[in-house]
């Protein structure tokens, strides 16, 4: 399976992403908390550029013991949001937040020395 060069580690800081192309397919590669994740840049909803939207921590409702709403906070889970219609995906799994049985196509990411590659296949 071909390996597509993404970036050198020095040019790919934690918290950023890159979009690479191979054989007519775009792949979003994320660097988060020292790990790399790669997904097809194709939203499951209507084919938008899923990997190009905002990255943000999961928004959680804060409920009191009596189930009254006390506001919101950011959780630990990182999401990215398709810019077309707001579909959210879990950065670590590619699962759609609205229906976690739906997942973006994922790709392996390998590090060779100082270079990062995505394995297309």
Element (DSSP H or E) covering residue 106: strand 106-112
Q: What is the pLDDT of residues 57-93, one digit of tens each?
A: 888 788 999 999 999 888 888 999 999 988 999 999 9
User: Which 3 state secondary structure label does DSSP give 52?
Assistant: helix
Domains of the chain: 3-119 (2.102.10.10)
Q: What is the pTM of this model?
A: 0.87
């Amino acid at each position: 399976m071909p390996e597509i060069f993404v970036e050198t580690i020095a040019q790919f800081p934690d918290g950023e992403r890159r979009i690479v192309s191979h054989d007519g397919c775009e792949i979003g590669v994320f660097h988060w908390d020292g790990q790399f994740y790669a997904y097809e840049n194709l939203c499951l909803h209507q084919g938008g550029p899923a990997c190009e939207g905002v990255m943000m921590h999961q928004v959680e409702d804060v409920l009191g013991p009596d189930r009254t709403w006390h506001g919101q906070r950011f959780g630990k889970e990182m999401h990215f949001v398709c810019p077309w219609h707001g579909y959210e995906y879990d950065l670590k799994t590619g699962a759609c937040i609205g229906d976690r049985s739906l997942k973006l196509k994922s790709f392996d990411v390998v590090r060779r020395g100082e270079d990062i590659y995505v394995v297309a296949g």
